[in-house]
Amino acid sequence: MNTLAERFKKILNKTWYIQGFNGCLNFCFGAPQSGLVGCHNNLGYGYTEKVFIFNKDYVEYLYLEDDFKNIGNMFLEKYKKNKNYLKEVMGKDAVIVASSKKTMKKIDNTDLTKLNKQELVKLYQEMQTAYHGILDVSHIIEGISFVVEPLLKKKIEEALKLERHDPEFRKLFNLLMQPAKPSFANEEYIDILEIVKLVKKDEKLLCLFNDSSPQIIFAKLNKTNKKIKEKITAHRKRFLYNQINYYHGNPLSELDYISEIKKLIEENKEESDIDDKLKAEKERYGLNAVAREKIIREHKFNDEINSLIHISMEVLHWQDNRKKNILTGVYYMNIMLNEISKRYSIPLEKIKRYLPEEITEDKLDNFSMEDANERMKHYIVYSRREDGKLIFEIYTKEDYEEIMNVYNKTYTEQNDIHGAPASPGKIIGVVRVCKTKEELLKFKEGEILVASMTRPEFVPAMKKASAIVTDEGGLTCHASIVSRELGKPCIVGTKIATKVLKDGDMVEVNANHGTVKKIK
């Protein structure tokens, strides 16, 4: 019989696509539930197996590239037969998401403290079903992007008779892939700029924000300017998912937003600064659409290319909306777990390390602190689809070490770092690997940001960076879009950058050709 190491050597020798981010098992396990069961039940195709590797509050999430290919190809096959297929799939997703939001509203309207334990756990289980439902259809997005983007590049290369590293090709392709509407992060930015604009128009209010602490401002707004206070509160409620991740489920407070407003006032001293930024943000997306249509018209792309561009744009915005919905789901999962934590006297940080299937009355009554302490360190979860059902295995202690020995040998002995050029440029600099919020705080001006992927909370570091390198992503991912806006060299999809590179490494990032080289 195979040992655990031999078994996982076979598993890990498959080609995996690896994401890395702050995460806990409870907030992440909606992905296997949806991908391995939900997608198949709703669409007839989906994922076959997944691996999670948790280390404290960081997770490496392994997708099979063969699953991506199968999902993307299956989608395209159905789309070719039915040009309304994407619209129909997105419509099915919208119905499920609407149902999920009803559960969230139910939680808003429920006094959780008045529920008994049985009722509380039952509502939690209803919420976790609603949570993974958000991904039951939309989880195919990664597979679609994985197949469509390289295919679109190939078809445009052929149509333009240009090689993809040619500056003219990169310029045209980047323009084609610019979003036609603001992301949820940009929507939040526009909304808070509108509040800053109102503050700057009122001299007394402006003096208050310039001269006082967030606590004093908040207290005085309650008494003297409730209109601005209400706008800040409404902003927080509308964008409660802002800065939440798959580990931290608490939203920003009004004080956090007052601090952000103070910062924006300091950064935009001139009267016209805010108006100029608002105008640029609001006009950008219309200009992107105009530029895209102009390129399509001038180069007379065929129906196949136009269809692939259409799919890319629709999926880009669908993915952004999905992220907003998922992070909102995390917020409600966190509310439920927080109440369960209090009721059963189990620390929230420990209960978050458990599967939704493990959050039952019986298991909570007999909760193992010893096992929880192991999971606080690290653990591995392997899941697969078998006979239409989700099967999962959890490994801690010696089993974890044995599997990680195989994993590290499989992935960290590679040194050839290359990926997709997302924003052109060439730079030599010092590496700073950032996986968590805490590591982002250490980031210094001019360093090269190396991350598994970027999210809205990475933007301050991205602004300081001389270049950006990520393990995952394509030309429509967050890192690609933001780096192009900032004019920073960026390479995405290297798969191994965070494993091969270390803080302090001197490297050359050639984002014209998609290569990263260590300099000795």
pLDDT tens digit sequence for 157-194: 999 998 877 888 888 888 898 888 888 888 999 999 99
Under 8 Å between Cβ of 422 and 483: yes
Q: Looking at the 3D structure of the chain, how many domains does it have?
A: 3
**Per-residue model confidence (pLDDT) at position 414:** 56
- 212: phi then psi, degrees, rounded to nearest 5: -120, 160
Hey, what are 429's tokens? 């600099």
The answer to whether residue 14 sits within a structural domain is yes
**Per-residue model confidence (pLDDT) at position 235:** 97
394 and 422 belong to one structural domain: no
Cα dihedral sign, 311-317-320-325: negative
- Domain boundary, last residue among 411, 437, 472: 411
423 and 393 belong to one structural domain: no
pLDDT digits over 291-310, tens only? 999 999 999 999 999 999 99
pLDDT tier at 415 (50, 70, 90 boundaries)?
low
| pLDDT for residue 273 is more than 70 | yes
356 and 426 belong to one structural domain: no
| pLDDT for residue 413 is more than 80 | no
- Domain boundary, last residue among 282, 304, 330: 282
The answer to whether residue 392 sits within a structural domain is yes
The answer to whether residue 176 sits within a structural domain is no
Q: Tell me which residue range forms the domain holding 96.
A: 4-139+317-411
- Domain boundary, last residue among 384, 411, 438: 411
- 110: phi then psi, degrees, rounded to nearest 5: -115, 135
C-alpha separations of 433 from 409, 440, 458, 504 in Å: 20, 9, 12, 9
Q: Which of 4, 1, 3, 18 is nearest to 396 (CA)?
A: 4
Least confident of 49-53, 268-272, 496-500: 268-272
**Per-residue model confidence (pLDDT) at position 411:** 65
What's this model's pTM, rounded to 2 decimal places? 0.87
pLDDT digits over 121-136, tens only? 999 999 999 999 999 9
34 and 127 belong to one structural domain: yes
